[in-house]
């Protein structure tokens, strides 16, 4: 695992207000946690460096780059006046240089993972995924992930999948990669039918960006179970269809327990498991820090991401039934997928009769955007009260304790290839289950059932072979037969086809 960061980036801070959620403390608590757990002892530490202007130009316009450089030379009052003209950003005299440093570290982490067929984690700030080619936005100045992806493409990557699990839509990345068929984006974000920032219709399931798959979440409180289900029903099937040779994660931790922005409930175990599922594909992976604002959560989230990158396994808990809003979103995402993605799962969903037809009487996007004459620059975010902070710390600790006490590492399920039948199950008195499946059905069983029950299990090369219609028809009957079995009924694919 490659790792890169630089404490110089702590100098990017707000000068005109006493509190802001995108604070240097975010990086401090992550680095302190990784060091205290000795997790960087075996990492390949990369030297930090600043990106050149030419490297930034692969995504951003020269006029925009020069503008940011010039503004950083002005007085703090003049800098604040500029920030009133763009949406939700701050800067100081160091921001231009540190945004270059953030981008340079992201490029090198990504290229190291790609060239060495390994993994990397870049703990950088300012973040990047909201930045547009010629406009800053949402704490972001240069789009680190898009820049890194473009340079990986220039270095030989044919297809790159960006997985953005930051709780805010990656609308900047969406626009920065537009037109490049060698880069695909999956953005999993809080949406609330467009009533949550950035309040854009392009963050819906249906939009005009062909290389973006949005998974908009229309209710708060989605947890590990929800995000793991999204991975098994959208992210991993997309990997099968797209077959990228590099994965980049916009690694925001603001869907975490206690986060004031996301109001979701993803735990450190959840982030670790999502990372491990991507690692299991054998595809090089680079994670680049984005948001995340509840300090007790993000330090542990980063810890579990690094533990996953280093091969550790964690206890797992069964998924719970989808919320009605998530069920609706997943069906819409699958039903609306393009001809080149999610085709196997779409076929199964159509066969089950549970596809989501567009509801013209209830549009997906119900939000609106109000652009003020001037954007506010002060007192935008409020610090949690000590009581609120303590309550979320207790909730975080309770979830961690539940994983340790109730979770299981792997399962007592064994998969055996046998040509005697397409599919059969044998149970022992000790509670162990052995699944027998034909070689033709094995990739489907492995990628949808075993990968969920044993998340530390790597995928076989046949995982990336798209199944035939005949294989899917047989597998659909397998799904129906497993839906009433307590050991399998909680598997996300079985849930969505039978729930």
Residues annotated as catalytic (active site), given as ranges: 130
Coil/strand/helix, residue 4? strand
Cα(425)–Cα(445) distance, integer angstroms: 12
Cα(234)–Cα(238) distance, integer angstroms: 6
| E-state strands within 350-401 | none
Cα(430)–Cα(427) distance, integer angstroms: 8
Which CA distances in Å does 54 have to 8, 57, 153, 394? 22, 5, 16, 47
Q: In this structure, what token pair is assigned to residue 324? A: 């009605």
DSSP string of 416-465, one letter each residue: EE-SS-SEEEEE-TTS-EEEEE-TTTHHHHIIIIIHHH-TTPPPPGGGGS
Q: Which of 325, 315, 215, 196 is nearest to 267 (CA)?
A: 315
Which of 388-392's residues contact partners 24+ apart within 8 Å by CB, and which partners? 389/258, 389/296, 392/257, 392/258, 392/294, 392/296, 392/297
β-sheet bridge partners, residue 186: 163, 213
Coil/strand/helix, residue 367? coil
CA distance between the termini of the chain: 40
- Block residue for tokens 């099937």: 237
Q: Which residues contact 485 (CB under 8 A, 6 or more apart)?
A: 425
Coil/strand/helix, residue 185? strand
Q: Write the burial class of residue 390 (CB in 10 Å: 0-12 exposed, 13-18 middle, 19+ buried).
A: exposed
Q: Which of 419, 418, 436, 438 is nearest to 427 (CA)?
A: 436
Q: Write the burial class of residue 221 (CB in 10 Å: 0-12 exposed, 13-18 middle, 19+ buried).
A: exposed
Cα(418)–Cα(200) distance, integer angstroms: 51
- Block residue for tokens 């729930």: 499
Dmax of the chain from CA atoms?
A: 77
Q: Which residues contact 373 (CB under 8 A, 6 or more apart)?
A: none
For 266, list phi and psi in degrees, rounded to 5.
-75, 135
Q: Which helix (H) or strand (E) holds 388?
A: helix 386-406
């Amino acid at each position: 695992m490659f790792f890169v960061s630089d404490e110089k980036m702590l100098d990017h801070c707000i000068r005109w207000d006493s509190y802001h959620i995108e604070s240097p403390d975010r990086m401090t608590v992550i680095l302190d946690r990784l060091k205290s757990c000795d997790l960087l002892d075996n990492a390949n530490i990369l030297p930090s460096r600043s990106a050149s202007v030419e490297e930034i130009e692969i995504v951003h316009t020269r006029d925009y780059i020069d503008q940011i450089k010039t503004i950083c030379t002005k007085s703090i009052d003049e800098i604040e006046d500029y920030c009133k003209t763009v949406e939700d950003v701050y800067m100081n005299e160091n921001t231009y240089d540190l945004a270059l440093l953030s981008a340079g570290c992201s490029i090198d982490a990504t290229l190291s993972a790609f060239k060495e067929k390994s993994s990397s984690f870049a703990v950088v700030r300012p973040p990047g995924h909201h930045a547009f080619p010629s406009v800053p936005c949402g704490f972001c100045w240069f789009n680190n992930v898009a820049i890194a992806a473009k340079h990986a493409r220039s270095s030989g990557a044919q297809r790159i999948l960006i997985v953005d699990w930051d709780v805010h839509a990656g609308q900047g990345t969406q626009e920065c990669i537009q037109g490049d068929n060698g880069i695909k984006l999956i953005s999993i974000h809080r949406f609330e039918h467009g009533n949550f920032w950035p309040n854009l219709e392009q963050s819906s399931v249906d939009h005009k960006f062909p290389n973006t798959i949005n998974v908009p979440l229309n209710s708060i409180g989605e947890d590990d179970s929800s995000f793991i289900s999204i991975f098994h029903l959208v992210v991993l099937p997309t990997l099968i269809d797209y077959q990228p040779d590099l994965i980049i994660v916009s690694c925001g931790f603001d869907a975490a327990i206690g986060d004031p922005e996301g109001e979701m409930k993803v735990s450190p175990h959840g982030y670790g498991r999502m990372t491990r599922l991507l690692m299991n594909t054998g595809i090089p992976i680079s994670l680049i820090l984005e948001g995340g604002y509840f300090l007790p959560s993000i330090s542990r989230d980063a810890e579990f991401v690094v533990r996953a990158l280093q091969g550790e396994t964690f206890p797992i808990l069964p998924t719970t039934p989808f919320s009605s809003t998530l069920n609706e979103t997943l069906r819409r995402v699958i039903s609306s997928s393009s001809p080149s993605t999610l085709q196997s799962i779409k076929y199964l969903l159509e066969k089950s009769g549970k596809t989501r037809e567009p509801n013209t009487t209830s549009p997906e996007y119900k939000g609106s955007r109000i652009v003020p004459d001037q954007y506010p620059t002060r007192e935008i975010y409020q610090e949690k009260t000590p009581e609120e902070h303590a309550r979320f710390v207790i909730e975080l600790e309770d979830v961690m304790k539940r994983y340790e006490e109730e979770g299981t590492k792997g399962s007592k399920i064994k998969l055996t290839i046998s040509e005697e039948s397409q599919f059969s199950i044998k149970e022992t008195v000790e509670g162990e289950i052995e699944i027998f499946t034909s070689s033709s059905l094995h990739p489907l069983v492995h990628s949808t059932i075993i990968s969920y029950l044993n998340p530390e299990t790597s995928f076989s090369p046949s995982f990336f072979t798209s199944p035939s219609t005949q294989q899917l028809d047989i597998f659909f009957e397998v799904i129906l037969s497993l839906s009433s079995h307590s050991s399998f009924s909680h598997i996300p694919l079985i849930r969505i086809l039978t729930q």
